[in-house]
Chains A and B, each alone.
Chain A
Amino acid sequence: MNKLQLSVVSASFVFAATAFGEETDYNFESTRQRGRGNTYTAATYSHETPRWNPAVLSEAKPKTVEFRWFEFDVMVGDNSIDTVSDIMSALGGSSDEMLGNVLDTFSDKFGKRQYLRFQLLPIGLRFGGFVLEPFVTNYEWLEMRIPTLPIMALESDTRAGMGISYGFPVGKNMKFGMTVRPTYRYFVSADVAATDVIQIAASEAGSSDDIVSMTSGMYVPVDLGMIWSSSPSFRFGATWHNVGDAAVTEEAADTSPLIKSDLSLGMLYRKKLGSWNLDTSADLHDMLFRQSTSFLRKLHGGVEFGRPYFTADNDIGFQAGVSEGWYSLGGFVDIWLARLAVSNYGVELGEEAGQRQDRRWGATLQSSVTF
């Protein structure tokens, strides 16, 4: 017979991913903002908020220098944790037994995305309202769906570059900011049809190299931000990430997927309770419908209850929120030289809010000194 031509999975398939809902694409993830329902648009100043709304840089103490020498973020799905545990349990015995055990393990994995993300920001410098921040981010996921005619998809997205942000006030109540983020991106994806899955699974020597698409290229995403505050307790924010779907350099334009733009609106209300702050925030993301999310998936809301000790930001806090129909919980603490945050949140993978959840853990360790 003619061997199955795996090359039929052409580049046109690669970005379609019709059977796999797309989660909203953000340049960065934040453990802390995920804890409060993924609200960021009108957030107050903290180490990470300028990545989402550069206008907040105008609220940093002027004539100060902030030196960040380390930030590491990791986000991992509950499914991935379960799978690693299951595979470890399946190992052992003869090779045939192991194969059977591993396949048994994957019988329960249909519709469960295996997700892992990390972000490394090895150093960051802020001079007043100006920030320089090199970064490396990477996420990977693998998923199988529909046991009767199994299909499979995977993505691996690595981005490395430099964030250059500036925020400045205009008048008494308005603040503006802009980020330019030259980024080199390495994107790997595959969308494997049922017959290809069987071919690969039944082959002693897998042919997965033939069905994986790898592209790379230089991007220059630009983010714009605005904050308007009528009083110390209420603020309104707007951000436009990846303006124009992230300008792609000519060499990458033909082969690489766009980093889609995201126009978001949001508000934050702060109620002082003695030394503690109760922040209530709400966001509306993807207002330009570039990421094709349904209306309810655009809604995000959350609360953060915290207080400052060493910095102007909350140094300890507890969070709860709802994002895309799924609840989130989080907490963070600053122990002067290091700040640790942990959150547990849900990400929507389907078409509608609350349709198909991937539950994840996020953890962040960061360090900074301000002069």
Chain B
Amino acid sequence: MFAAASANPSDEEAQLEAARVSMDNRDYAGAVATLEDMDDDSNERRKLLAAARLGDAGLDIWEILQDVLSGASTDSSGMDGFFNTVGATAFGTGDERTARNVAMRTTLTELAEAPTTGDTSVQDIACFVGALWTVPLISDAQTALTTVQAGLASVTPSDCSGLDTIDASLATVSTLSTDFRLILNAISSCSFIDTSGSAASLNTVEKQLNSLSTNADNGCNVPSECAPTDLACRALELSCVHDKLTSGSQSTADDGIISTCELVQGCYNPSACFSL
């Protein structure tokens, strides 16, 4: 006579609801604490944790959406319009940007490890977060790669002295390489980000990711044409630089993974690397 068994809401459901209530009231730290205290993991918990971490880092998608719509000057609408209009400034600067990068990184990692695989709602959130994160990361990557090149230009070819000057910026590129890997993984199963197709059909983020994959996912190869006066480019031919860039890691063309070496060498011209 009864359609299905039914039961009291579990403590888990009550805790999930408590986290939602906290977020509705914009108490994101409280929501993170509630969700982290839960004994049972679930995809719903992962999705809420993603929202809570973004909020705790000061990333309010509704506010970004408001800013995008109020300043919209694009012909496209919907998700294309959103990504065409949202800018890296939405992610702040300095410590604020760092905190948001950490939140994005943690969120994508946690969503990728959601207990039930193949959940479209989890994939869509990961895809959206990944696409959104692309905007500031491309900007950061251009800065870091330019700094690496400046360091490479000061390396003495005979004894590789001065190579240590690129350590800090190379560490940043290495982190960016890991972050791009998370993003490419996140957008791989997604209904609204598709990096294939003609340039005219892609939004800004899709273009940048398409260009990144096309230019950088080519293995660890020295740029084919280095002008004799381009000291940074010539430095890429040095074995000591090659060893530092690879650090024992593999770089395989078209494997969907952008290594540090691929990023430095494939995006030797940063401004051209990230746009079609």
Cβ-closest chain A residue relative to B197 = A1
Tell me whether A201 and B17 are in contact in the complex, defined as CB-CB below 8 angstroms, given that A145-B24, A289-B6, A292-B8 are known contacts: no
Q: Which residues of A contact B79 (CB under 8 A)?
A: 1, 4, 195, 198-199, 202
Q: Which residues of B contact A258 (CB under 8 A)?
A: 3
Shortest beta-carbon distance from A277 to chain B in Å: 36
Residue picked from B50, B59, B191, most chain A C-beta under 10 Å: B191
A19, B80: Cα distance in complex, Å: 27
When each residue 78-91 of chain B gets 1 if its CB lies under 8 Å from chain A and 0 otherwise, what string results? 11111000000000
Shortest beta-carbon distance from B24 to chain A in Å: 3
Tell me whether A356 and B17 are in contact in the complex, defined as CB-CB below 8 angstroms, given that A1-B197, A148-B51, A202-B81 are known contacts: yes
When each residue 30-73 of chain B gets 1 if its CB lies under 8 Å from chain A and 0 otherwise, what string results? 00000000000000100110111011000111110110111000
Asked whether any CB of chain B lies closer than 8 Å to the CB of A81, the reply is no
Q: Which residues of A contact B203 (CB under 8 A)?
A: 1
> Of B6, B52, B68, B78, which one neighbours A4 at CB under 8 angstroms?
B78
Q: Which residues of A contact B124 (CB under 8 A)?
A: 193-195
> Of B70, B80, B194, which one neighbours A96 at CB under 8 angstroms?
B70
Q: Which residues of B contact A147 (CB under 8 A)?
A: 23-24, 26, 55, 60-63
A84, B60: Cα distance in complex, Å: 25
Shortest beta-carbon distance from B87 to chain A in Å: 15
Cβ-closest chain A residue relative to B21 = A356
A193, B126: Cα distance in complex, Å: 13
Tell me whether A194 and B65 are in contact in the complex, defined as CB-CB below 8 angstroms, given that A99-B70, A202-B79 are known contacts: no
Q: Which residues of A contact B62 (CB under 8 A)?
A: 107, 110, 147-148, 150
When each residue 19-32 of chain A gets 1 if its CB lies under 8 Å from chain B and 0 otherwise, what string results? 10100000000000
Pair A145/B20 contact, Cβ less than 8 Å: yes
Please give the number of chain A residues whose Cβ is less than 8 angstroms from any Cβ of chain B in the complex: 51
A19, B78: Cα distance in complex, Å: 24
Q: Which residues of B contact A198 (CB under 8 A)?
A: 61, 65, 79, 82, 128
Given A1-B197, A149-B47, list of 12 further CB < 8 A pairs?
A1-B194, A19-B44, A107-B63, A146-B48, A148-B51, A148-B54, A203-B78, A245-B3, A258-B3, A293-B8, A294-B8, A350-B14
Pair B6/A194 contact, Cβ less than 8 Å: no
Please give the number of chain B residues whose Cβ is less than 8 angstroms from any Cβ of chain A in the complex: 58
A–B complex contacts, Cβ < 8 Å, 19 sampled: A1-B203, A4-B78, A4-B79, A8-B120, A103-B70, A111-B21, A112-B24, A147-B63, A149-B47, A149-B128, A198-B61, A198-B65, A199-B79, A202-B68, A245-B2, A350-B21, A351-B14, A351-B17, A352-B9
Asked whether any CB of chain A lies closer than 8 Å to the CB of B206, the reply is yes
Pair B52/A148 contact, Cβ less than 8 Å: yes
Shortest beta-carbon distance from B78 to chain A in Å: 5
Asked whether any CB of chain A lies closer than 8 Å to the CB of B175, the reply is no
A6, B244: Cα distance in complex, Å: 47
A258, B6: Cα distance in complex, Å: 13
Pair B28/A350 contact, Cβ less than 8 Å: no
Asked whether any CB of chain A lies closer than 8 Å to the CB of B202, the reply is yes
Shortest beta-carbon distance from A150 to chain B in Å: 5
Pair A18/B128 contact, Cβ less than 8 Å: no
Q: Which residues of A contact B128 (CB under 8 A)?
A: 149, 194-195, 198
Q: Which residues of B contact A96 (CB under 8 A)?
A: 70
Pair A111/B24 contact, Cβ less than 8 Å: yes
Pair A201/B65 contact, Cβ less than 8 Å: yes
Q: Which residues of B contact A245 (CB under 8 A)?
A: 1-3
Q: Which residues of A contact B55 (CB under 8 A)?
A: 147-148
**Footprint of B on A, CB under 8 Å?**
1-5, 8, 18-19, 21, 96, 99-100, 103-104, 107, 110-112, 145-150, 193-195, 198-199, 201-205, 244-245, 258, 261, 288-295, 350-352, 355-356
Shortest beta-carbon distance from B47 to chain A in Å: 8
A350, B16: Cα distance in complex, Å: 10
Pair B24/A107 contact, Cβ less than 8 Å: no
A5, B48: Cα distance in complex, Å: 23
Q: Which residues of B contact A199 (CB under 8 A)?
A: 78-79, 192
Cβ-closest chain B residue relative to A143 = B24
Tell me whether A193 and B121 are in contact in the complex, defined as CB-CB below 8 angstroms, given that A1-B194, A107-B62, A198-B65 are known contacts: yes
Q: Which residues of A contact B206 (CB under 8 A)?
A: 1
Pair B201/A1 contact, Cβ less than 8 Å: yes
Q: Which residues of A contact B24 (CB under 8 A)?
A: 110-112, 145-147
Q: Which residues of A contact B68 (CB under 8 A)?
A: 202
Pair B51/A146 contact, Cβ less than 8 Å: yes
Q: Which residues of A contact B44 (CB under 8 A)?
A: 18-19
Q: Which residues of A contact B127 (CB under 8 A)?
A: 195
Q: Which residues of A contact B14 (CB under 8 A)?
A: 294, 350-352, 355
Asked whether any CB of chain A lies closer than 8 Å to the CB of B125, the reply is yes
Q: Which residues of A contact B69 (CB under 8 A)?
A: 99-100, 103, 201-202
Pair A148/B23 contact, Cβ less than 8 Å: yes
A31, B63: Cα distance in complex, Å: 39
Shortest beta-carbon distance from A292 to chain B in Å: 5
| Nearest 3 pairs of A and B residues by beta carbon | A111-B24, A148-B55, A4-B192
